[in-house]
Amino acid sequence: MRAIQAISVKALIRPGQWPTTLCFWLTSFAGLLLVHGVGQWLPKIMGDLGYETCDSLLFSTALSVGGIVDMLVAGRLADAVGPRRTVIVRFTLTAVFGAVMVTPPPE
């Protein structure tokens, strides 16, 4: 096992490294927006789309629980097949399910 060493912010933004660092920071920020959005905005948005309050809260809870399960599975999967493939599959599935989420309810 390698020893962990301290890395300065200067090392993270050096030439050749800053694009990766910027993408990591943007992804982290987007993740925080997503978590806040699920907890705060999703029930209101779903209510505006015609869903009952109970349904929107249940959906929000299911999405949060799904995220927890996803993280547990993704960690094991990343160990087995590699983090790059795992991230590509997870982001693709997130886009697909995000599109399904904005589909209006049947009448």
Q: What is the pLDDT of residues 3-41, one digit of tens each?
A: 667 777 777 778 888 888 888 889 889 888 877 877 788
* pTM passes above 0.75: no
Residue 107 is assigned to a structural domain of this protein: no
Domain that holds residue 32: 9-102
Residue 4 is assigned to a structural domain of this protein: no
Residue 85 is assigned to a structural domain of this protein: yes
Residue 3 is assigned to a structural domain of this protein: no
Nearest to 71 by CA among 87, 51, 88: 87
Per-residue pLDDT tens over the stretch 67-94 = 889 889 999 999 999 988 998 998 898 8
Domain count, the chain: 1
Residue 2 is assigned to a structural domain of this protein: no
Nearest to 98 by CA among 41, 47, 34: 34
